[in-house]
Structure 1
Amino acid sequence: MAKWGEGDPRWIVEERPDATNVNNWHWTEKNAAHWSKEKLQTLLMGLQIDDASIGRCYISEVSSIEGEAVANNRKGKLIFFYEWVIKCNWKGNVNGQAEEISGKLEIPNLSEENSADEITVDVSLDTSGSKEDLLKNLMRSKGEKAIREQLSKYILALRDEFAKDMIKPSKLTDGGSINSFQTEAQLKKTKSEASSSSTTNHKKPATAAAATAPKQPQQPTPGVKIDTTTLTLTDTFKCSADEFYQVLTDPKLVQAFTQNKVTVEAHAGGQFSLLDGNIVGKFTHLEPGKVIKQNWRVKNWPAEHYSEVTITINQKEDATEVNISQKGVPRTDLVRTEEGWKRFYFESIKRTFGFGASMF
């Protein structure tokens, strides 16, 4: 990954007054939730499953679609994060009988982590009986196959329809135009952010995510001996070790996944401040692409109490394994600290940069 400020021509956004995303190098994000709900509703509603020897079933109602979907463009690659739980009602008739039989079905795992043939379809009945079981088996066999086919169409459409305007031809490659996904308002905002110092302290309220963090337990007052423990975490990211290192040390990238202005001085002794000053500390040791060590504290910890964080970054064959060891965490704050790493670091990084999603 190119470093900000080192003159790499790919970081041309820094040099343009309009901050245009030339050659699709920088990440852009587009919320696909509303589009996805409409697309899934269209694909599933009224879907018919017929068997000449048994009867006919159809989806009579898509009762709920809960989840989220985001499309990202990173380095000219489309990356998708989506996770849906879908509930439907179905009805049907056995051949030669007018009695209508009804039931429900649930799709609990439509996400980028599963291929179309791995999607689960749970089928249930509103009433029991031999006729009902015939239709239930029909929905479980032919119905499940038909539903998976429709959901595979959604996955393809997310790329081919929804995200088709996210990557534009590059003027450096084929004479086309530069990426024009950003609106005029977004360009002005990007311009303003790009021209401001990445080390400016954030004056606005913390993000909604930070505001909804679990209620903090009462902490010891300064001067009182603190009962501490060690926190260890491991996660895997679909990126290179160098890319993950950059995400935690480049002010622009840290600002992207925290959604706050930040202070990040990535050198031994350099200070950092994240999430409206709720997390502060300094870097004590850095090995690019391998290790980051920090003195790290949450704002409400006893005055001058810092934990020692060691982030070890291991390049694997097709991913990067990240191990975190944090010594000196107040025992009363262990659970909240662990939740914070997972929510505000790991999950946010994966969602923002597509490091946990499928790439096309």
Structure 2
Amino acid sequence: MVVHNPNNWHWIDKNCLPWSKDYFQANIKDTTFENEQYKFIITEVDSVTGDCDVTQRKGKVLCIYDMRLEFSVSSSDKKKTDASAILGTITLPEFVHDEEEDEYVFEIKSSGDHVSEIRKSLVPVLRSKLMRFQQDLLDAHAKDVQHASDQ
């Protein structure tokens, strides 16, 4: 990307929403929690909507995102002999660049009585993966919004 931007002073941004969708498919899909009683798997990334940009202004690179994420969850009760998949969803209505890890709200819907178990076991695994997103986003796109200072 060729940019005429002396000293990286002017505002430049790059839409990274398409990259984000691919990122979640590669890094969130198939996230699993398993113990002696349950097995929960994120089987699909159903929706990634909103805004996701990597931005440069006055020589500083940062990312700004505000997305809604929806995931499908498959679960099974391993203690039952007829353990059939019970489908549910995890929705993160606001996945935002400036919130702390413990501020995120996960909405969980399940066709069974697994909401509390999903929240207790699968959500922490999901949260830890989501917390890597911001740095991975910057690592992947920072070079696209800045040029070398000797140009």
**Residues in 1 aligned to 2:105 and 2:3: alpha-carbon distance in whole angstroms:** 44
Give the 3 Å change call, closer, same or farther, for CA 164–115 of structure 1 in structure 2.
Answer: farther
Deviations 1:240-298 (A, max 9, x none): xxxxxxxxxxxxxxxxxxxxxxxxxxxxxxxxxxxxxxxxxxxxxxxxxxxxxxxxxxx
Distance 2:45 2:135 in 1: 21
* TM-score, structure 2 as length reference: 0.87
Question: Retained in 1: the 8 A contact 2:3–2:147?
Answer: no
- Higher RCO, 1 vs 2 (CA within 8 Å, ≥6 residues apart): 2
Deviations 1:34-62 (A, max 9, x none): 1111112222211101123x211001121
Mapped pair 1:31 → 2:33: no
Q: Show the counterpart of 1:124.
A: 109
Report the aligned-residue RMSD. Answer: 1.9
Match of 1:49 in 2: 33
Partner of 1:114, secondary structure, is: coil
Once the two structures are TM-superposed, the CA of residue 22 in structure 1 deviates from its matched residue by 2.3
Aligned to 2:98: 113
Distance in 2 between residues matched to 1:111 and 1:151, nearest whole Å = 11
Structure 1 equivalent of residue 4 of structure 2: 20
**Match in the other structure for 2:145:** 166
In 2, distance between residues paired with 1:19 and 1:67? 26
Gaps of 5+ in 2: none
Letter in 2 for 1:101: I
Q: How far apart are the structure 2 equivalents of 1:19 and 1:169?
A: 10
C-alpha deviation, 1:122, in angstroms: 1.1
Q: How many Å separate the matches in 2 of 1:113 and 1:58? A: 28
1:96 deviation in Å? 3.3
Quickly say closer, same or farther: Cα 1:62–1:19, change in 2 above 3 A. closer
Pairs within 5 Å for 1:1-360:
20-52=4-36, 54-97=37-80, 98-126=83-111, 132-133=112-113, 135-171=114-150, 178=151
Q: Which runs of 4+ in 1 moved over 4 A?
A: none
Between structures 1 and 2, the one with greater strand share: 2
Structure 2: how far apart are the matches of 1:41 and 1:162? 18
Please name the residue that 1:242 is paired with.
none
Give the TM-score normalised by the residue count of structure 1. 0.39
Q: Residues 41, 19 of structure 1: CA spacing in aligned structure 2 closer, same or farther, 3 A cutoff?
A: closer
Larger gyration radius, structure 1 or structure 2: 1
